[in-house]
Structure 1
Amino acid sequence: MAHDERRLEVLRAIVQDFVSTNDPVGSKALAERHDLGVSPATIRNDMAVLEEQGYIAQPHTSAGRVPTDKGYRLFVDRLSAVKPLSAAERRAIERFLDGAVDLHDVLGRSVRLLAQLTRQVAVVQYPTLSRSAVRHLEVVQVASGRLLVVLITDTGRVEQRVVECPADVEPGAVPELRTLLNSAFAGVRLGEAGDKVPGLLETAPPHLRGLVAAVSATLLETLVEPSEDRLVVGGTANLTRGSAMDFPGTMRPLLEALEEQVVVLRLMSEVDASTVLVRIGEENDHEALTGASLVTVGYGSADRPLGGLGVVGPTRMDYPGNMAAVRAVARYVGHLLAES
């Protein structure tokens, strides 16, 4: 085995031991626990080189070594393969998510499931509305001069607005309005739908024009300024289960970042559905996340991710296991939403 390959094996062993025990790892323990095929003296030399290259470091109080952000990065980059989940774990995901009744339920369950599988904080982004298309516009008369307009997107989002109409609505006008709106907007991307509203006013039959005018402002507001993207967060209590070493400073900035959502949503905007992204410690340019790692992936079809999901936790995490869980849950959520 070449020196570099052997050193990578030593680094792998250090990462695995440190993640599972949370104790800095010494050469003697490595020699006892792992069949590295070399003497403890050689392991000591390899550790000295790894330390010199910045992949491991020595905490002040200990004789052992711990991986650095750079060490975790090399470990993640050189994973030969993300270990697949067991058949039992996959069945558990299916069973848990199949009971969901709507989009909110799918995302809420996904967060709970990810937090359980990984024992980290789980985050799921609502489908980005700018990437959604109109599936259906429903119009319901709720009083003589009041309509409820419901937008249903192809990603399962539902937005509803009440519209006050200037005069009593003629019977029969509501079904006509519904047909008119759906023929104009069904299948149209939300980003393009707003441009069609002015034309609809001009081409509507005269007896419907008043109604179209009444709902047009609401349509614009719903189609062009949809409710902001948001995150569902679960398992924050998992942060407190680690040790003081995981977040040497304070967890408060990380908790605040999760609560404010903007920082995490910005990171989520970079996901794609085919690659699990891992950002480790200092690679996160926001200071609240420099002590943490994010494992994220897009869900939806490969050519059109609808949003992102993932986990946030200390840099001392089970990367292969978390990457597998995040990928499996994302695939399943993508299937569910594609069928809905």
Structure 2
Amino acid sequence: MNEERRLDVLRAIVSEYVHTREPVGSKVIAAAHDLGVSSATIRNDMAALEEAGLIYQPHTSAGRVPTDKGYRLFVDRLTTIKPMSTPERRAVEAFLAQSVDLDDVVSRTVRLLAQVTQQVAVIQYPRMRIHTVRRIEIVDLTPHRLLVVVITSEGRVEERIIETSQQVSVDEIARLRIWINEVCEGLSREDVREHMHVLPESNDYADTSLISDVMKAVAEMLHPGADSRIVMAGMANLTRSGVDFRDISPVLDALEEQVALLRLFDELTPEDEVHVTIGSENQHDGLTEASIVTGTYGGADGPMAHLGVVGPTRMDYARTMSSVRAVAAYLSRYLTH
């Protein structure tokens, strides 16, 4: 019984400290939390928690503040993560449903996650190992310049401008667009590269050099690029939380380098629905005063990636974990469909 009550006291300290940023005393807990015991009993429980290294007293005559170990126990004992409310979910889905492609949905998501959690939001692009062509558009910019646009099956949009030695008419562009879409739909980069020299000869289009140039541009745009591309938003949220850090500069430097985040993402598995690292658990020196809540999205034989939130250890863990999980689930559905 004492053990469970002490855990309730720890929960009360974490809850009060997260919302007030003030050390928490026994009288506050007794008044705000119905634990069914006196302030004296709560003080005894706080002494036991302090001896266990779960809370500490920042200065004499002050209340108590959770330690990294205390936050860890609090997070581990969260039996359920309260889901987002129905209006919140609908608002998120309505906002993200307006996305036109993968770049747009990632951009919208990272901004939304930063706004909802009031922390720094981080999203890793899916590791698109294989891109295939959904559609190719060719637009005449000038008589000797064409814009080639490739839309992949994953929703990515890539553009290249190519120069032509001869002037190309609107009718020629239209015929080329129809032919190249018939030939290239569903092809991967390797398929396009493999057929690059054969395809121009398999049609009656006069300017085979133009076809070769377009095919080369298409192949380049199908390249998956770097496996780990990260987008961040909400840096201003972190600076507003500067009072929670002895020195915020190392945190900002670590986020700018992105190495620590990539390493953390690499260690996650699809089974890690929501993963939390707190303070000293973070390997990067610059993040030892920060907490990182991460989730995994995608999968199901498709591309998989991660997203997360970075903030001070004085974080509303339950709400942040709920937001990360909900957004990860939405992104998974987006990639699936």
TM-score range, shorter chain: 0.7 to 0.9
Local SS of the residue matching 2:138: strand
Pick from 280, 284, 287 the counterpart of residue 286 of structure 1.
284
Matched residue, 1:253: 250
Local SS of the residue matching 2:34: coil
- Once residues 105 and 150 of structure 1 are traced to their aligned partners in structure 2, the CA distance between those partners, rounded to angstroms, is 16
- Once residues 300 and 193 of structure 2 are traced to their aligned partners in structure 1, the CA distance between those partners, rounded to angstroms, is 34
Any idea what the Cα deviations from partners look like across 1:130-161, whole Å, max 9, x if unmatched? Answer: 3x532424152636665544332333221222
Amino acid paired to 1:82: I
- Once residues 333 and 68 of structure 1 are traced to their aligned partners in structure 2, the CA distance between those partners, rounded to angstroms, is 34
Change (3 A) 1:169 1:100: closer
After the TM superposition, which of the residue ranges 58-67 and 282-291 deviates more from structure 2? Answer: 58-67
Matched residue, 1:9: 8
Change (3 A) 1:63 1:287: same
- Once residues 157 and 258 of structure 2 are traced to their aligned partners in structure 1, the CA distance between those partners, rounded to angstroms, is 21
Change (3 A) 1:175 1:98: closer
Change (3 A) 1:307 1:238: same
After the TM superposition, which of the residue ranges 42-51 and 315-324 deviates more from structure 2? Answer: 42-51
Matched residue, 2:52: 53
Any idea what the Cα deviations from partners look like across 1:195-215, whole Å, max 9, x if unmatched? Answer: x34531465363567556435
The answer to whether the 8 A contact 2:260-2:283 is kept is no
- Once residues 234 and 319 of structure 1 are traced to their aligned partners in structure 2, the CA distance between those partners, rounded to angstroms, is 19
Matched, 1:200 2:199: no
Q: What value does the CA root-mean-square deviation take over the aligned residues?
A: 3.0
- Once residues 66 and 331 of structure 2 are traced to their aligned partners in structure 1, the CA distance between those partners, rounded to angstroms, is 33
Shift in Å, 1:128: 2.8
- Once residues 212 and 46 of structure 1 are traced to their aligned partners in structure 2, the CA distance between those partners, rounded to angstroms, is 77
Matched, 1:308 2:281: no
Local SS of the residue matching 1:129: coil
- The runs of at least 4 consecutive aligned structure 1 residues that moved more than 6 Å come to 166-170
- Once residues 302 and 337 of structure 1 are traced to their aligned partners in structure 2, the CA distance between those partners, rounded to angstroms, is 10
Shift in Å, 1:243: 5.7
Any idea what the Cα deviations from partners look like across 1:153-185, whole Å, max 9, x if unmatched? Answer: 3332212223446677794455333322225x1
Pick from 138, 153, 168 the counterpart of residue 136 of structure 2.
138
Shift in Å, 1:19: 0.8
- Once residues 333 and 323 of structure 1 are traced to their aligned partners in structure 2, the CA distance between those partners, rounded to angstroms, is 16
Amino acid paired to 2:258: Q
Gaps of 5+ in 2: none
Any idea what the Cα deviations from partners look like across 1:274-310, whole Å, max 9, x if unmatched? Answer: 6011111112211221111111212335554543222
Change (3 A) 1:27 1:305: farther
Local SS of the residue matching 1:224: coil
Change (3 A) 1:225 1:110: closer
The answer to whether the 8 A contact 2:148-2:161 is kept is yes
- Once residues 155 and 207 of structure 1 are traced to their aligned partners in structure 2, the CA distance between those partners, rounded to angstroms, is 28
The answer to whether the 8 A contact 1:121-1:312 is kept is yes
Change (3 A) 1:32 1:141: closer
The answer to whether the 8 A contact 2:149-2:157 is kept is yes
Matched residue, 2:35: 36
TM-score normalised according to structure 2 size: 0.83
Shift in Å, 1:320: 0.3
Shift in Å, 1:85: 1.6
Local SS of the residue matching 1:310: strand
Matched, 1:76 2:75: yes
- Once residues 20 and 136 of structure 2 are traced to their aligned partners in structure 1, the CA distance between those partners, rounded to angstroms, is 56
The answer to whether the 8 A contact 1:292-1:312 is kept is yes
Gaps of 5+ in 1: none
Shift in Å, 1:22: 0.9
Matched residue, 2:149: 150
Pick from 316, 319, 335 the counterpart of residue 317 of structure 2.
319
Matched residue, 2:180: 177
TM-score normalised according to structure 1 size: 0.82
Matched residue, 1:97: 96
Local SS of the residue matching 1:278: strand
Amino acid paired to 1:116: Q
Matched, 1:298 2:296: yes
Any idea what the Cα deviations from partners look like across 1:238-260, whole Å, max 9, x if unmatched? Answer: 2233362x101x21222233334
Shift in Å, 1:70: 1.3
Local SS of the residue matching 2:310: strand
After the TM superposition, which of the residue ranges 5-14 and 98-107 deviates more from structure 2? Answer: 98-107
After the TM superposition, which of the residue ranges 298-307 and 274-283 deviates more from structure 2? Answer: 298-307
Percent identity of paired positions between Structure 1 and Structure 2:
51
Amino acid paired to 2:288: T
Matched residue, 1:18: 17
- Once residues 276 and 131 of structure 2 are traced to their aligned partners in structure 1, the CA distance between those partners, rounded to angstroms, is 30
Shift in Å, 1:12: 1.1
After the TM superposition, which of the residue ranges 233-242 and 288-297 deviates more from structure 2? Answer: 233-242
Matched residue, 1:275: 273
